[in-house]
Structure 1
Protein backbone atom coordinates (compact mmCIF):
# COMPACT_ATOMS: atom_id res chain seq x y z
CA UNK A 1 0.00 0.00 0.00
CA UNK A 2 1.45 3.33 -1.05
CA UNK A 3 2.38 5.71 1.71
CA UNK A 4 -0.01 8.63 2.09
CA UNK A 5 1.48 11.88 0.88
CA UNK A 6 1.83 14.54 3.57
CA UNK A 7 -0.65 17.40 3.16
CA UNK A 8 0.68 20.94 3.05
CA UNK A 9 -0.68 23.15 5.77
CA UNK A 10 -1.05 26.84 5.08
CA UNK A 11 -0.93 29.40 7.83
CA UNK A 12 -4.19 31.32 7.46
CA UNK A 13 -3.54 33.72 10.33
CA UNK A 14 -3.15 37.35 9.42
CA UNK A 15 -0.09 39.40 10.33
CA UNK A 16 -2.03 41.10 13.11
CA UNK A 17 -3.24 37.77 14.54
CA UNK A 18 0.28 36.38 14.55
CA UNK A 19 1.94 39.33 16.23
CA UNK A 20 -0.64 40.98 18.49
CA UNK A 21 -3.17 39.87 21.08
CA UNK A 22 -6.79 39.23 20.21
CA UNK A 23 -7.86 41.80 22.79
CA UNK A 24 -5.73 44.54 21.21
CA UNK A 25 -6.83 43.65 17.68
CA UNK A 26 -10.50 43.80 18.66
CA UNK A 27 -10.00 47.14 20.37
CA UNK A 28 -8.23 48.64 17.36
CA UNK A 29 -10.77 47.16 14.93
CA UNK A 30 -13.54 48.90 16.85
CA UNK A 31 -11.67 52.21 16.63
CA UNK A 32 -11.12 51.72 12.89
CA UNK A 33 -14.82 50.99 12.42
CA UNK A 34 -15.73 54.25 14.14
CA UNK A 35 -13.10 56.29 12.29
CA UNK A 36 -14.21 55.06 8.86
CA UNK A 37 -17.88 55.76 9.65
CA UNK A 38 -17.24 59.32 10.81
CA UNK A 39 -14.74 60.10 8.08
CA UNK A 40 -17.45 59.12 5.61
CA UNK A 41 -19.82 61.56 7.32
CA UNK A 42 -17.13 64.26 7.10
CA UNK A 43 -16.53 63.43 3.44
CA UNK A 44 -20.24 63.71 2.65
CA UNK A 45 -20.30 67.13 4.30
CA UNK A 46 -17.11 68.26 2.54
CA UNK A 47 -18.51 67.22 -0.84
CA UNK A 48 -21.70 69.17 -0.11
CA UNK A 49 -19.49 72.12 0.94
CA UNK A 50 -17.57 71.99 -2.35
CA UNK A 51 -20.74 71.73 -4.41
CA UNK A 52 -22.09 74.80 -2.59
CA UNK A 53 -19.24 77.01 -3.86
CA UNK A 54 -20.10 76.29 -7.50
CA UNK A 55 -21.25 79.41 -9.30
CA UNK A 56 -20.49 81.67 -6.33
CA UNK A 57 -18.32 84.78 -6.70
CA UNK A 58 -15.38 84.51 -4.32
CA UNK A 59 -13.07 87.11 -2.84
CA UNK A 60 -10.02 87.76 -5.01
CA UNK A 61 -7.58 84.80 -4.87
CA UNK A 62 -9.76 82.88 -2.37
CA UNK A 63 -10.52 80.18 -4.92
CA UNK A 64 -7.21 78.71 -3.73
CA UNK A 65 -9.00 77.46 -0.61
CA UNK A 66 -11.50 75.59 -2.77
CA UNK A 67 -8.64 73.93 -4.66
CA UNK A 68 -7.01 72.86 -1.40
CA UNK A 69 -10.30 71.45 -0.11
CA UNK A 70 -10.68 69.45 -3.33
CA UNK A 71 -7.24 67.90 -2.72
CA UNK A 72 -8.06 66.96 0.86
CA UNK A 73 -11.43 65.53 -0.22
CA UNK A 74 -9.78 63.04 -2.60
CA UNK A 75 -6.95 62.20 -0.21
CA UNK A 76 -9.35 61.59 2.67
CA UNK A 77 -11.49 59.35 0.46
CA UNK A 78 -8.38 57.39 -0.60
CA UNK A 79 -7.26 57.08 3.04
CA UNK A 80 -10.67 55.75 4.02
CA UNK A 81 -10.38 52.99 1.43
CA UNK A 82 -6.83 52.07 2.49
CA UNK A 83 -7.77 52.00 6.18
CA UNK A 84 -9.55 48.70 5.54
CA UNK A 85 -6.20 47.03 4.86
CA UNK A 86 -5.21 47.71 8.47
CA UNK A 87 -7.71 45.20 9.85
CA UNK A 88 -5.40 42.35 8.75
CA UNK A 89 -2.00 44.03 8.56
CA UNK A 90 -1.02 47.13 10.51
CA UNK A 91 2.05 47.58 8.31
CA UNK A 92 -0.10 49.10 5.58
CA UNK A 93 0.02 52.25 7.69
CA UNK A 94 3.21 53.07 5.79
CA UNK A 95 0.94 53.95 2.83
CA UNK A 96 -1.97 55.30 4.85
CA UNK A 97 0.26 57.67 6.80
CA UNK A 98 1.79 59.19 3.67
CA UNK A 99 -1.72 60.12 2.51
CA UNK A 100 -2.57 61.64 5.90
CA UNK A 101 0.70 63.58 5.72
CA UNK A 102 -0.48 65.10 2.44
CA UNK A 103 -3.78 66.06 4.10
CA UNK A 104 -1.96 67.69 7.02
CA UNK A 105 0.32 69.51 4.58
CA UNK A 106 -2.72 71.00 2.86
CA UNK A 107 -4.19 71.96 6.24
CA UNK A 108 -0.92 73.80 6.91
CA UNK A 109 -1.07 75.51 3.50
CA UNK A 110 -4.71 76.46 4.08
CA UNK A 111 -4.07 78.06 7.46
CA UNK A 112 -0.91 79.75 6.17
CA UNK A 113 -2.82 81.35 3.28
CA UNK A 114 -5.90 82.03 5.43
CA UNK A 115 -3.64 84.02 7.74
CA UNK A 116 -2.86 86.46 4.91
CA UNK A 117 -6.49 87.30 4.09
CA UNK A 118 -7.36 90.93 4.87
CA UNK A 119 -11.09 91.51 4.49
CA UNK A 120 -10.48 95.26 4.17
CA UNK A 121 -8.35 94.66 1.05
CA UNK A 122 -10.58 93.87 -1.95
CA UNK A 123 -7.54 92.88 -4.02
CA UNK A 124 -6.13 90.53 -1.34
CA UNK A 125 -2.55 91.56 -2.17
CA UNK A 126 -0.90 89.57 0.62
CA UNK A 127 -2.74 86.37 -0.28
CA UNK A 128 -2.06 86.87 -3.99
CA UNK A 129 1.65 87.41 -3.34
CA UNK A 130 1.97 84.18 -1.34
CA UNK A 131 0.19 82.29 -4.11
CA UNK A 132 2.67 83.78 -6.58
CA UNK A 133 5.54 82.53 -4.41
CA UNK A 134 3.93 79.06 -4.31
CA UNK A 135 3.70 79.22 -8.11
CA UNK A 136 7.37 80.17 -8.34
CA UNK A 137 8.28 77.15 -6.19
CA UNK A 138 6.21 74.95 -8.52
CA UNK A 139 7.98 76.29 -11.60
CA UNK A 140 11.47 75.93 -10.10
CA UNK A 141 10.71 72.32 -9.19
CA UNK A 142 9.26 71.70 -12.66
CA UNK A 143 12.39 73.05 -14.34
CA UNK A 144 14.58 70.70 -12.31
CA UNK A 145 12.32 67.77 -13.15
CA UNK A 146 12.26 68.54 -16.88
CA UNK A 147 16.05 68.94 -17.01
CA UNK A 148 16.51 65.63 -15.18
CA UNK A 149 14.12 63.95 -17.61
CA UNK A 150 16.13 65.41 -20.50
CA UNK A 151 19.38 64.02 -19.08
CA UNK A 152 17.81 60.57 -18.83
CA UNK A 153 16.54 60.76 -22.42
CA UNK A 154 20.08 61.55 -23.58
CA UNK A 155 21.37 58.54 -21.66
CA UNK A 156 18.81 56.29 -23.38
CA UNK A 157 19.68 57.79 -26.79
CA UNK A 158 23.35 57.08 -26.13
CA UNK A 159 22.60 53.44 -25.26
CA UNK A 160 20.53 53.09 -28.43
CA UNK A 161 23.20 54.92 -30.46
CA UNK A 162 20.77 57.48 -31.79
CA UNK A 163 21.14 61.23 -32.03
CA UNK A 164 19.45 63.24 -29.31
CA UNK A 165 17.08 66.07 -30.17
CA UNK A 166 18.45 69.61 -29.68
CA UNK A 167 18.44 71.04 -26.17
CA UNK A 168 15.72 73.47 -25.18
CA UNK A 169 16.26 76.28 -22.69
CA UNK A 170 13.46 75.26 -20.33
CA UNK A 171 13.97 78.19 -17.98
CA UNK A 172 13.68 80.62 -20.88
CA UNK A 173 10.38 79.00 -21.89
CA UNK A 174 9.03 79.51 -18.37
CA UNK A 175 10.30 83.10 -18.31
CA UNK A 176 8.25 83.98 -21.35
CA UNK A 177 5.14 82.38 -19.87
CA UNK A 178 5.61 83.88 -16.36
CA UNK A 179 7.08 87.33 -16.89
CA UNK A 180 5.72 88.51 -13.51
CA UNK A 181 8.19 86.22 -11.71
CA UNK A 182 11.26 87.87 -13.22
CA UNK A 183 12.95 91.25 -12.88
CA UNK A 184 13.59 93.52 -15.85
CA UNK A 185 17.12 92.07 -15.89
CA UNK A 186 15.75 88.56 -16.27
CA UNK A 187 16.55 87.33 -12.75
CA UNK A 188 14.11 85.43 -10.58
CA UNK A 189 12.29 87.82 -8.28
CA UNK A 190 13.10 87.34 -4.62
CA UNK A 191 10.20 86.72 -2.27
CA UNK A 192 10.71 90.17 -0.77
CA UNK A 193 10.26 91.68 -4.24
CA UNK A 194 7.08 89.68 -4.87
CA UNK A 195 5.80 90.91 -1.49
CA UNK A 196 6.45 94.56 -2.36
CA UNK A 197 2.81 95.56 -1.72
CA UNK A 198 2.15 93.13 1.15
CA UNK A 199 1.19 94.84 4.41
CA UNK A 200 4.19 95.34 6.76
CA UNK A 201 2.08 93.63 9.44
CA UNK A 202 2.26 90.35 7.51
CA UNK A 203 5.91 90.86 6.56
CA UNK A 204 6.88 91.02 10.23
CA UNK A 205 4.93 87.86 11.03
CA UNK A 206 6.44 85.94 8.10
CA UNK A 207 9.91 86.39 9.66
CA UNK A 208 11.48 85.07 6.44
CA UNK A 209 14.63 85.95 4.54
CA UNK A 210 15.30 85.60 0.82
CA UNK A 211 18.08 83.10 1.50
CA UNK A 212 19.49 81.96 -1.83
CA UNK A 213 17.05 84.16 -3.70
CA UNK A 214 14.75 81.30 -4.69
CA UNK A 215 12.88 81.61 -1.37
CA UNK A 216 11.30 78.18 -0.82
CA UNK A 217 8.93 78.47 2.15
CA UNK A 218 9.44 75.50 4.46
CA UNK A 219 6.68 73.86 6.50
CA UNK A 220 8.53 75.04 9.61
CA UNK A 221 8.20 78.68 8.48
CA UNK A 222 4.55 78.18 7.60
CA UNK A 223 3.89 76.74 11.05
CA UNK A 224 5.69 79.68 12.69
CA UNK A 225 3.40 82.06 10.81
CA UNK A 226 0.31 80.02 11.73
CA UNK A 227 1.33 80.23 15.39
CA UNK A 228 1.93 83.97 15.11
CA UNK A 229 -1.54 84.40 13.60
CA UNK A 230 -3.10 82.78 16.65
CA UNK A 231 -4.16 79.34 15.41
CA UNK A 232 -4.45 77.66 18.81
CA UNK A 233 -3.96 74.11 17.50
CA UNK A 234 -0.67 74.93 15.72
CA UNK A 235 1.25 72.54 17.98
CA UNK A 236 -1.16 69.69 17.19
CA UNK A 237 -0.75 70.33 13.46
CA UNK A 238 3.05 70.42 13.85
CA UNK A 239 3.07 67.18 15.87
CA UNK A 240 0.95 65.35 13.29
CA UNK A 241 3.15 66.57 10.44
CA UNK A 242 6.36 65.48 12.18
CA UNK A 243 5.04 62.03 13.07
CA UNK A 244 3.57 61.30 9.64
CA UNK A 245 6.75 62.53 7.96
CA UNK A 246 8.61 59.60 9.56
CA UNK A 247 6.76 57.39 7.06
CA UNK A 248 7.67 59.60 4.11
CA UNK A 249 11.36 59.41 4.95
CA UNK A 250 13.53 56.49 5.99
CA UNK A 251 15.63 55.63 9.01
CA UNK A 252 16.19 52.30 10.78
CA UNK A 253 13.91 53.48 13.57
CA UNK A 254 11.11 54.27 11.13
CA UNK A 255 11.11 50.57 10.21
CA UNK A 256 10.40 49.75 13.85
CA UNK A 257 7.40 52.11 13.68
CA UNK A 258 6.20 50.23 10.63
CA UNK A 259 6.15 46.90 12.48
CA UNK A 260 4.23 48.20 15.51
CA UNK A 261 0.47 48.34 16.02
CA UNK A 262 -1.64 51.39 15.15
CA UNK A 263 -3.03 52.63 18.46
CA UNK A 264 -1.21 55.97 18.20
CA UNK A 265 -1.72 56.15 14.43
CA UNK A 266 -5.49 56.08 14.92
CA UNK A 267 -5.15 58.99 17.34
CA UNK A 268 -3.28 60.88 14.61
CA UNK A 269 -5.99 60.04 12.03
CA UNK A 270 -8.65 61.29 14.44
CA UNK A 271 -6.78 64.52 15.08
CA UNK A 272 -6.30 65.03 11.36
CA UNK A 273 -10.02 64.59 10.77
CA UNK A 274 -10.72 67.01 13.62
CA UNK A 275 -8.40 69.66 12.18
CA UNK A 276 -10.03 69.31 8.77
CA UNK A 277 -13.49 69.75 10.30
CA UNK A 278 -12.29 72.88 12.13
CA UNK A 279 -10.75 74.24 8.93
CA UNK A 280 -14.08 73.97 7.14
CA UNK A 281 -15.59 76.15 9.87
CA UNK A 282 -12.82 78.74 9.52
CA UNK A 283 -13.29 78.95 5.76
CA UNK A 284 -16.94 79.92 6.17
CA UNK A 285 -15.50 83.37 6.95
CA UNK A 286 -13.95 83.89 3.51
CA UNK A 287 -15.86 81.64 1.09
CA UNK A 288 -19.21 82.29 -0.49
CA UNK A 289 -21.46 79.22 -0.47
CA UNK A 290 -25.01 78.63 -1.57
CA UNK A 291 -27.27 78.20 1.47
CA UNK A 292 -24.35 79.04 3.76
CA UNK A 293 -26.50 79.40 6.90
CA UNK A 294 -27.96 75.93 6.37
CA UNK A 295 -24.47 74.44 5.93
CA UNK A 296 -23.23 76.19 9.05
CA UNK A 297 -26.12 74.69 11.02
CA UNK A 298 -25.28 71.27 9.65
CA UNK A 299 -21.63 71.75 10.64
CA UNK A 300 -22.65 72.71 14.20
CA UNK A 301 -24.65 69.49 14.49
CA UNK A 302 -22.02 67.22 12.88
CA UNK A 303 -18.78 68.52 14.43
CA UNK A 304 -19.55 67.54 18.07
CA UNK A 305 -20.58 64.04 16.95
CA UNK A 306 -17.28 63.60 15.13
CA UNK A 307 -15.23 64.86 18.07
CA UNK A 308 -17.17 62.70 20.55
CA UNK A 309 -16.56 59.63 18.38
CA UNK A 310 -12.84 59.88 19.16
CA UNK A 311 -13.59 58.70 22.69
CA UNK A 312 -15.60 55.63 21.67
Structure 2
Protein backbone atom coordinates (compact mmCIF):
# COMPACT_ATOMS: atom_id res chain seq x y z
CA UNK A 1 0.00 0.00 0.00
CA UNK A 2 1.50 3.28 -1.06
CA UNK A 3 1.60 5.87 1.72
CA UNK A 4 1.86 8.79 -0.69
CA UNK A 5 -0.82 11.31 0.23
CA UNK A 6 -2.01 9.18 3.15
CA UNK A 7 -2.56 10.79 6.54
CA UNK A 8 -0.51 9.08 9.25
CA UNK A 9 -0.64 9.98 12.95
CA UNK A 10 2.51 8.83 14.74
CA UNK A 11 2.75 8.89 18.53
CA UNK A 12 6.04 8.67 20.39
CA UNK A 13 7.58 10.67 17.55
CA UNK A 14 10.09 12.79 19.45
CA UNK A 15 12.92 10.23 19.66
CA UNK A 16 14.01 6.66 19.00
CA UNK A 17 11.94 4.55 16.65
CA UNK A 18 9.27 7.26 16.38
CA UNK A 19 11.64 10.00 15.21
CA UNK A 20 13.21 7.71 12.62
CA UNK A 21 9.81 6.47 11.48
CA UNK A 22 8.71 10.07 10.96
CA UNK A 23 11.59 10.59 8.54
CA UNK A 24 10.83 7.37 6.67
CA UNK A 25 7.09 8.04 6.46
CA UNK A 26 7.72 11.55 5.19
CA UNK A 27 10.15 10.22 2.57
CA UNK A 28 7.39 7.93 1.28
CA UNK A 29 5.09 10.89 0.76
CA UNK A 30 2.85 10.40 3.79
CA UNK A 31 1.20 13.40 5.43
CA UNK A 32 2.62 12.78 8.90
CA UNK A 33 1.18 14.28 12.07
CA UNK A 34 3.73 13.89 14.86
CA UNK A 35 2.82 13.46 18.52
CA UNK A 36 5.32 13.56 21.36
CA UNK A 37 5.53 14.35 25.02
CA UNK A 38 8.57 16.61 24.91
CA UNK A 39 7.77 19.87 23.13
CA UNK A 40 11.34 20.79 22.17
CA UNK A 41 12.24 17.42 20.72
CA UNK A 42 8.91 16.94 18.96
CA UNK A 43 9.12 20.39 17.38
CA UNK A 44 12.68 19.75 16.22
CA UNK A 45 11.71 16.52 14.43
CA UNK A 46 8.61 18.09 12.91
CA UNK A 47 10.26 21.28 11.70
CA UNK A 48 12.93 19.27 9.88
CA UNK A 49 10.09 17.65 7.93
CA UNK A 50 7.78 20.67 7.80
CA UNK A 51 5.14 18.46 9.43
CA UNK A 52 2.35 19.34 11.88
CA UNK A 53 3.10 18.41 15.47
CA UNK A 54 1.32 18.09 18.78
CA UNK A 55 2.40 17.45 22.34
CA UNK A 56 0.44 15.46 24.87
CA UNK A 57 1.29 13.87 28.19
CA UNK A 58 -0.26 10.41 28.30
CA UNK A 59 -0.15 10.54 32.10
CA UNK A 60 -3.01 13.02 31.83
CA UNK A 61 -6.31 11.89 30.34
CA UNK A 62 -7.25 15.51 29.69
CA UNK A 63 -4.25 15.80 27.37
CA UNK A 64 -5.38 12.74 25.43
CA UNK A 65 -8.80 14.29 24.94
CA UNK A 66 -7.31 17.58 23.78
CA UNK A 67 -5.01 15.73 21.40
CA UNK A 68 -7.94 13.84 19.89
CA UNK A 69 -9.89 17.08 19.44
CA UNK A 70 -6.93 18.73 17.70
CA UNK A 71 -6.31 15.77 15.41
CA UNK A 72 -9.97 15.63 14.41
CA UNK A 73 -9.87 19.33 13.68
CA UNK A 74 -6.70 19.07 11.63
CA UNK A 75 -7.59 16.00 9.55
CA UNK A 76 -10.57 14.79 7.55
CA UNK A 77 -9.54 11.16 7.77
CA UNK A 78 -6.69 9.20 9.34
CA UNK A 79 -5.39 6.37 7.18
CA UNK A 80 -2.90 5.02 9.71
CA UNK A 81 -2.53 5.54 13.46
CA UNK A 82 0.93 4.32 14.45
CA UNK A 83 0.51 3.95 18.21
CA UNK A 84 4.18 3.92 19.07
CA UNK A 85 4.24 5.85 22.38
CA UNK A 86 5.16 3.86 25.47
CA UNK A 87 7.14 4.01 28.67
CA UNK A 88 8.44 2.15 31.70
CA UNK A 89 7.58 4.17 34.80
CA UNK A 90 8.07 2.04 37.93
CA UNK A 91 6.64 3.07 41.29
CA UNK A 92 4.83 6.08 39.85
CA UNK A 93 1.15 7.02 39.76
CA UNK A 94 -0.81 9.58 37.79
CA UNK A 95 -3.03 12.27 39.29
CA UNK A 96 -5.94 9.85 38.82
CA UNK A 97 -4.26 7.29 41.08
CA UNK A 98 -3.51 4.98 38.17
CA UNK A 99 -0.17 3.22 37.76
CA UNK A 100 1.74 5.41 35.30
CA UNK A 101 3.05 2.50 33.22
CA UNK A 102 -0.51 1.19 32.83
CA UNK A 103 -1.96 4.56 31.91
CA UNK A 104 0.74 5.49 29.38
CA UNK A 105 0.87 2.06 27.70
CA UNK A 106 -2.74 0.93 27.97
CA UNK A 107 -5.36 3.43 29.00
CA UNK A 108 -4.31 6.55 27.11
CA UNK A 109 -3.58 4.83 23.74
CA UNK A 110 -6.94 3.04 23.99
CA UNK A 111 -8.74 6.30 24.78
CA UNK A 112 -7.08 8.00 21.81
CA UNK A 113 -8.13 5.17 19.46
CA UNK A 114 -11.66 5.35 20.82
CA UNK A 115 -11.96 9.10 20.35
CA UNK A 116 -10.53 8.92 16.82
CA UNK A 117 -12.69 5.98 15.71
CA UNK A 118 -14.82 7.98 13.26
CA UNK A 119 -11.74 9.44 11.58
CA UNK A 120 -10.10 5.99 11.42
CA UNK A 121 -12.98 4.25 9.64
CA UNK A 122 -11.50 2.25 6.77
CA UNK A 123 -8.01 2.90 8.12
CA UNK A 124 -5.43 1.01 10.15
CA UNK A 125 -3.97 1.00 13.65
CA UNK A 126 -0.48 -0.41 14.09
CA UNK A 127 0.69 -0.53 17.70
CA UNK A 128 4.21 -1.06 18.98
CA UNK A 129 4.14 -4.04 21.33
CA UNK A 130 6.92 -5.99 23.05
CA UNK A 131 7.75 -9.66 23.10
CA UNK A 132 7.86 -9.25 26.88
CA UNK A 133 4.06 -9.57 26.79
CA UNK A 134 4.47 -13.31 26.23
CA UNK A 135 5.92 -13.71 29.73
CA UNK A 136 2.97 -11.97 31.37
CA UNK A 137 -0.37 -13.26 32.63
CA UNK A 138 -3.47 -11.21 33.44
CA UNK A 139 -6.28 -12.48 35.67
CA UNK A 140 -9.90 -11.40 35.37
CA UNK A 141 -10.02 -10.61 39.07
CA UNK A 142 -6.75 -8.68 39.22
CA UNK A 143 -7.50 -5.80 36.84
CA UNK A 144 -7.85 -3.28 39.66
CA UNK A 145 -4.47 -4.29 41.10
CA UNK A 146 -2.97 -4.08 37.60
CA UNK A 147 -4.24 -0.54 37.06
CA UNK A 148 -3.37 0.68 40.54
CA UNK A 149 0.14 -0.76 40.57
CA UNK A 150 -0.65 -3.11 43.44
CA UNK A 151 0.96 -6.10 41.77
CA UNK A 152 4.10 -6.37 43.88
CA UNK A 153 6.25 -7.01 40.81
CA UNK A 154 9.29 -5.39 39.23
CA UNK A 155 9.05 -2.50 36.79
CA UNK A 156 9.90 -4.85 33.93
CA UNK A 157 7.09 -7.27 34.82
CA UNK A 158 4.62 -4.42 35.21
CA UNK A 159 5.66 -3.22 31.74
CA UNK A 160 5.16 -6.72 30.29
CA UNK A 161 1.67 -6.92 31.76
CA UNK A 162 0.82 -3.49 30.44
CA UNK A 163 1.84 -4.48 26.90
CA UNK A 164 -0.26 -7.64 27.16
CA UNK A 165 -3.24 -5.61 28.34
CA UNK A 166 -2.74 -3.10 25.52
CA UNK A 167 -2.64 -5.91 22.95
CA UNK A 168 -5.80 -7.50 24.32
CA UNK A 169 -7.62 -4.17 24.20
CA UNK A 170 -6.39 -3.51 20.66
CA UNK A 171 -7.99 -6.73 19.43
CA UNK A 172 -11.20 -6.02 21.29
CA UNK A 173 -11.19 -2.63 19.59
CA UNK A 174 -10.85 -4.39 16.23
CA UNK A 175 -13.80 -6.66 17.03
CA UNK A 176 -15.95 -3.63 17.91
CA UNK A 177 -14.77 -1.52 14.97
CA UNK A 178 -14.86 -3.92 12.05
CA UNK A 179 -14.02 -1.21 9.55
CA UNK A 180 -10.64 -0.52 11.18
CA UNK A 181 -7.72 -2.89 10.58
CA UNK A 182 -5.57 -3.50 13.67
CA UNK A 183 -2.31 -5.26 14.51
CA UNK A 184 0.84 -4.87 16.56
CA UNK A 185 4.49 -5.77 16.43
CA UNK A 186 7.65 -6.24 18.44
CA UNK A 187 10.22 -4.04 16.66
CA UNK A 188 13.25 -5.93 17.99
CA UNK A 189 15.55 -5.16 20.88
CA UNK A 190 16.36 -1.55 20.12
CA UNK A 191 19.46 0.27 21.34
CA UNK A 192 17.86 3.30 22.97
CA UNK A 193 17.32 4.87 26.37
CA UNK A 194 13.82 3.42 26.67
CA UNK A 195 14.73 1.19 29.64
CA UNK A 196 16.63 3.88 31.55
CA UNK A 197 13.89 4.17 34.23
CA UNK A 198 14.61 0.56 35.24
CA UNK A 199 17.89 1.73 36.78
CA UNK A 200 20.59 -0.86 37.46
CA UNK A 201 18.37 -3.73 36.32
CA UNK A 202 17.78 -1.98 33.00
CA UNK A 203 21.49 -1.29 32.59
CA UNK A 204 22.35 -4.96 33.17
CA UNK A 205 19.66 -6.14 30.75
CA UNK A 206 20.84 -3.65 28.15
CA UNK A 207 24.47 -4.79 28.50
CA UNK A 208 23.49 -8.45 28.10
CA UNK A 209 21.34 -7.68 25.07
CA UNK A 210 23.88 -5.41 23.34
CA UNK A 211 25.15 -8.09 20.88
CA UNK A 212 21.57 -8.62 19.71
CA UNK A 213 20.30 -5.05 19.56
CA UNK A 214 19.06 -3.22 16.50
CA UNK A 215 19.16 0.50 15.76
CA UNK A 216 16.12 2.78 16.09
CA UNK A 217 16.18 3.16 12.31
CA UNK A 218 15.87 -0.60 11.85
CA UNK A 219 12.89 -0.61 14.19
CA UNK A 220 11.42 2.32 12.29
CA UNK A 221 11.81 0.51 8.98
CA UNK A 222 9.76 -2.37 10.37
CA UNK A 223 7.05 -0.01 11.59
CA UNK A 224 6.80 1.63 8.17
CA UNK A 225 6.83 -1.75 6.41
CA UNK A 226 3.82 -2.94 8.42
CA UNK A 227 2.04 0.41 8.26
CA UNK A 228 2.16 0.21 4.47
CA UNK A 229 1.46 -3.53 4.22
CA UNK A 230 -0.84 -4.30 1.30
CA UNK A 231 -2.84 -7.05 3.00
CA UNK A 232 -4.76 -6.52 6.24
CA UNK A 233 -3.04 -6.88 9.59
CA UNK A 234 -6.20 -8.61 10.82
CA UNK A 235 -5.22 -8.66 14.48
CA UNK A 236 -1.89 -10.35 13.82
CA UNK A 237 1.09 -10.00 16.16
CA UNK A 238 4.42 -9.59 14.37
CA UNK A 239 7.99 -9.94 15.51
CA UNK A 240 9.88 -7.45 13.39
CA UNK A 241 7.86 -7.91 10.16
CA UNK A 242 6.87 -11.57 10.36
CA UNK A 243 3.78 -13.07 11.97
CA UNK A 244 4.74 -14.58 15.32
CA UNK A 245 3.15 -16.60 18.10
CA UNK A 246 1.81 -14.24 20.80
CA UNK A 247 0.62 -14.89 24.32
CA UNK A 248 -2.48 -17.12 24.16
CA UNK A 249 -4.26 -14.41 26.17
CA UNK A 250 -3.78 -11.81 23.46
CA UNK A 251 -6.90 -12.99 21.58
CA UNK A 252 -9.03 -13.74 24.66
CA UNK A 253 -12.53 -12.39 24.07
CA UNK A 254 -13.36 -12.76 27.75
CA UNK A 255 -10.37 -10.68 28.83
CA UNK A 256 -11.01 -8.26 25.98
CA UNK A 257 -14.57 -7.58 27.11
CA UNK A 258 -13.53 -7.29 30.77
CA UNK A 259 -10.66 -4.91 30.01
CA UNK A 260 -12.90 -2.83 27.75
CA UNK A 261 -15.48 -2.35 30.49
CA UNK A 262 -12.73 -1.64 33.01
CA UNK A 263 -11.05 0.94 30.78
CA UNK A 264 -14.41 2.56 30.08
CA UNK A 265 -15.05 2.87 33.80
CA UNK A 266 -11.60 4.30 34.50
CA UNK A 267 -11.96 6.98 31.84
CA UNK A 268 -15.66 7.85 32.02
CA UNK A 269 -15.51 8.46 35.76
CA UNK A 270 -12.65 10.89 35.32
CA UNK A 271 -13.85 13.28 32.67
CA UNK A 272 -12.04 16.55 33.38
CA UNK A 273 -13.48 19.95 32.62
CA UNK A 274 -12.45 21.30 29.20
CA UNK A 275 -8.99 22.82 29.26
CA UNK A 276 -7.88 26.10 27.72
CA UNK A 277 -8.13 26.47 23.97
CA UNK A 278 -5.10 25.03 22.25
CA UNK A 279 -2.92 26.94 19.88
CA UNK A 280 -3.94 27.28 16.27
CA UNK A 281 -2.01 27.07 13.05
CA UNK A 282 0.01 24.39 11.35
CA UNK A 283 1.94 23.49 14.49
CA UNK A 284 -0.01 22.73 17.61
CA UNK A 285 1.00 22.17 21.20
CA UNK A 286 -1.07 20.99 24.15
CA UNK A 287 -0.16 19.86 27.61
CA UNK A 288 3.37 20.05 28.85
Q: In which range does the TM-score fall when normalised by the shorter chain?
A: under 0.3
Richer in strand (by share): 2
Normalised TM-score (structure 1) = 0.25
Normalised TM-score (structure 2) = 0.27
> Whose RCO is larger (CA < 8 A, sep 6+)?
1
Richer in helix (by share): 1
